[in-house]
Amino acid sequence: MIGLLAVLIGMVLLLPACGQKNVEGTLEELMTKVYADIPEDERPMGLTNIEVTAENVEGFLGTADIEYKEALASEPMVSSIAHSVVLVRVEDESQVDNVMSQIKENVNPRKWLCVGVEEDQVIVKNKGNLIILIMAATDSDKLEAGFDSLK
């Protein structure tokens, strides 16, 4: 009985440790890790990182009404395939659900001239206060796995 009680108390004390931790590192470093399992020659040509600012946030996330600490987009300079990966860091986790909802409701999966992705191919998820938006015609599963592996 005492042993069972000790196990239960131990489990209760460990529960807070099960929550998501915030991912440490610069957005540039984290973006590199997201792409780590995709060989350079299999990535879209001219792939570049672009700081998301008040002037371009609507083009990347669909709305300028999102409150975020910092954001970085990865897109090809010129391409005939749909490809956009955006990392968004919010100030604290209490904002995450709201920001994710705003992205899902407003992002345009057909923002490119002649190409796009289907609504069900838009991936929005988080780790702690870091959110990723993936809209990619290819390799979205590898990009998502790269995000999932962030620590």
Q: Mean pLDDT across the chain, nearest whole number? A: 89
d(CA 53, CA 66) in angstroms, rounded, equals 11
Residues in the chain: 151
pLDDT single digits (tens) 69-106: 999 999 999 878 999 999 999 998 999 999 999 999 99
Return the amino acid letter for 92. D
pLDDT single digits (tens) 12-46: 444 444 456 899 999 999 999 999 999 999 999 99
- Of 143 and 12, the structure prediction assigns the larger pLDDT to 143
- Of 13 and 126, the structure prediction assigns the larger pLDDT to 126
pTM of the complete model: 0.86
Residue 147 has pLDDT above 50, yes or no: yes
- Angle (nearest 5°) at CA 67 between 61 and 71: 55
